[in-house]
Amino acid sequence: MSHQAIFAPMLCLFLVTAVVWVLLLIRRLGYFSANKIHPQSVPTPDAVKAAVPEKVQVVGNNLINLFELPMIFYGLTLVVAIAGIADDWFIRGAWAFVGLRALHSVVHCTYNKVMHRFMVYVVSSLVLWALVIKVVLQLGVL
């Protein structure tokens, strides 16, 4: 296993975030254009939420989600890389986390069934916390 293999899941999650960001631009700008909403009329996040329908809002909400628990994943990945403790177990777990977060984004940005989204969120969170515990134990922090 290449020591650099640990960066592939992290970079993939960067790409998931970029795709959601592009989708947000497409939906939001498309809605603004189609409804002749001038950007200055919605200068705050609250004003945007009041002006756009849920179908447009959910993508922004998902983008926000991609800057919550994934931040722990990014930091953890860097710790693992710097400490040189990337192993097959961690890399498989990292790919599982990324795959589940991508699935979460797909559910959130498409049909948005809350229980489906929540189940994926919980499983992805459990994977992340298992990775955190593994690294903490491996580094002898506790």
Q: What is the rounded average pLDDT of the residues 15-31?
A: 97
How many domains, in total, are found in the chain?
A: 1
**Residue 142 binned pLDDT confidence (cut-offs 50, 70, 90):** confident
Is 17 a residue whose pLDDT tops 90?
Answer: yes
For 37-84, write each residue's pLDDT tens digit: 999 999 999 999 999 999 999 999 999 999 999 999 999 999 999 999
Return the CATH number at 66. 1.20.120.550
The yes-or-no verdict on residue 4 having pLDDT over 90 is no
Cα 55 from Cα 142, distance rounded (Å): 45
How many C-beta atoms lie closer than 10 Å to residue 84's C-beta? 8
Cα–Cα dist 60/110, whole Å: 12
Mean pLDDT of the 3-8 span: 87
Crossing angle of helices 7-34 and 69-83, in 10° steps, is 150
Task: Tell me what the pLDDT averaged over the chain comes to.
Answer: 95
Residue numbers of the domain that contains 96 = 3-139
d(C-alpha 51, C-alpha 37), whole Å: 8
First to last CA, the chain: 27
